[in-house]
Amino acid sequence: MANIAIVYYSLKGQTFAPGRQLVNLEKGHTAAAAEFIQKAVGGDLFELETAEAYPEDHMQMIRAAKAEFDKGVRPELKNYPDMSPYDTVFLGFPNWFGTMPMPVMGFLEHCDWTGKRIIPFVTSGGSGFGKSPEDLKKLCPGAQIENGGAFLGHEVENSERQIADWAKQALQ
């Protein structure tokens, strides 16, 4: 039986729903997917959070995140969960600007991934993983990185069965 961690980053609060309609989420899409995965396969759940919150206003938030992205900033995190006890890590993130968010990159750089199996999952507005698989390879030397699962953000809440089936199958 694999020793499983589920680690994710997800933005709470304002976000765009289809049609660029602004909605307020108590729980982000990736967080909801991570919880479905834990329910399906067990393991320990860890949320990555930035030490300083992004602006509440969504347009301002996107501008702040884009500025970080352009400069290659790694925002400090509240916590850097210890991955050393785990051999299999489900790693969840939203697609930001065609790859993974900078807070996730910062977390990945903090860990030793040698010999670990990483099963990524992404939620997005439609671009899926983008170039995050390439970035994952660079940031996690020595890991075995699986193809992973891509889900549309606004469909996650109604996709528990699909996500659970994917997670169980991904472990085989």
Ligand X SMILES: Cc1cc2nc3c(=O)[nH]c(=O)nc-3n(C[C@H](O)[C@H](O)[C@H](O)COP(=O)(O)O)c2cc1C
Contacts with ligand X, residue ranges (CB under 6 A): 10-11, 15, 28-31, 62, 65, 94-98, 123-127, 153
Query: Cβ of residue 12: shortest distance to ligand X, in angstroms?
Result: 8
Query: Cβ of residue 88: shortest distance to ligand X, in angstroms?
Result: 21
Residue number, nearest CB to ligand X: 153
**Burial environment of residue 99 by CB neighbours within 10 A (0 to 12, 13 to 18, 19 or more):** buried
DSSP for residue 27? S
Nearer to ligand X among residue 70 and residue 85 (C-beta): 70
Nearer to ligand X among residue 2 and residue 130 (C-beta): 130
Q: Contact, 80 vs 52, CB < 8 A?
A: no
Residue with tokens 């990159």: 105
Nearer to ligand X among residue 2 and residue 25 (C-beta): 25
Query: Cβ of residue 3: shortest distance to ligand X, in angstroms?
Result: 25
Closest to 133 in 3D by CA, of 115, 121, 142, 125 = 121
Query: Cβ of residue 1: shortest distance to ligand X, in angstroms?
Result: 28
Q: What b/e sequence results for 43-58 when a residue is b if at least 16 CB atoms lie within 10 Å of its CB, and e otherwise? A: bebbbbebeeebeeeb
Nearer to ligand X among residue 131 and residue 161 (C-beta): 131
